[in-house]
Every structure is written in C-alpha cells, then in structure tokens.
Amino acid sequence: MTNSARSPRVVMVRSDPSGSRLEPRNEGPPMTHADIRALALSLPEAEELPHFDRPSFRVRGKIFITLPPSKDGRDLVVLKLPPIVKESLQQTDPDAIVSLGAWEKPGSGWTQLDIGRMDSETLADLVRLAWRQVAPKRLIAGRANDRDL
C-alpha cells in the first residue's frame, strides 16, 4: 500500500494565538523502519538483536523497540513508553495506536504505533523516550547534556 492510500498522519498544532487549543494537522512523509533502525542504533550502547520474528533494539539487554512486520499494509513499531504518554497518544490520535492483542498488558507501557500516522519529529522523540525508559540511570546521567536524548 502506498503512503497516499494510508490514513493521514496527524500532528497536534496550536490553532490560536493563545496556544490554548490544539488541532490536528497532517505532516510530511513518515519515518520508515530503516529510519527508526538508524536512530535507535545511534543511541548510546544500543544494539540490534532478534526478538522472535522481528528486530529488536536493546540497551544493556533491555528491549526498548521492536519492529514487527507490516499489518494490513501499515508499518508498525512497538515502543516501551511511560503509560501516561500512551494515554496521551490515545487521546490525541487513537487511530495511531494498534492493539498488541494478547500481549496488551495495562500499565506495561508497551505501545504499538502505526508509523504512517506519526510525524517524524514526534516519532523520533518517542524512540528516544523509549531508550530512556530502559537505559540505566548512570548511562542517562552521563548524557544529561546531550540534547538528542
């Protein structure tokens, strides 16, 4: 399925000068699995290892991202996010979240997203956040001045 046939990606933008109201807006091309792989591997001590039938990205053995196969023509990513971030994503664009089925565990933070619904900047931020969720505190603290984390 081509990007033009996909549901539009939604980005929340300020719709009034006071900045009090957010409205959805479509953005440019989404990230690809290759983009996500490159970003994940650029993070400190990240490595790629198989996890069942899919690539996973880990820091010191802990998974922060998996790249499942496409589903219904949609490219997906599974990220370890704080539950509050998952809740926020559900409120701003519920169609961006794809159920993990039997693997869905409340409060776990594991969140499967339709890459085509996410703008590149937001998805890149979520990849970095997923890394921070599992990276050791000392590793994070050692990178406190790194604005890309």
CATH architecture, domain defined by 30-141: Alpha-Beta Complex (3.90)
CA distance 22 to 35: 28
Sequence ranges of the domains in the chain: 30-141
Q: Is-above-0.85 flag for pTM?
A: no
At residue 29 the predicted structure's pLDDT band, cuts being 50, 70 and 90, is confident
Identify whether the C-beta of residue 131 lies closer than 8 Å to the C-beta of residue 43. Answer: yes
Tokens of 53: 């039938």
Kindly report, residue by residue over 104-141, the tens digit of the pLDDT. Answer: 777 678 999 999 999 999 999 999 999 999 999 999 99
Which residue is listed with tokens 């046939």? 5
Question: 59 phi and psi, to 5 degrees?
Answer: -125, 120
Quickly count: other Cβ atoms within 10 Å of residue 31's Cβ.
22
Kindly report, residue by residue over 30-85, the tens digit of the pLDDT. Answer: 899 999 999 999 999 999 999 998 999 999 999 999 999 988 889 999 999 999 99
Beta bridge partners of 111: 79
CA distance 33 to 116: 11
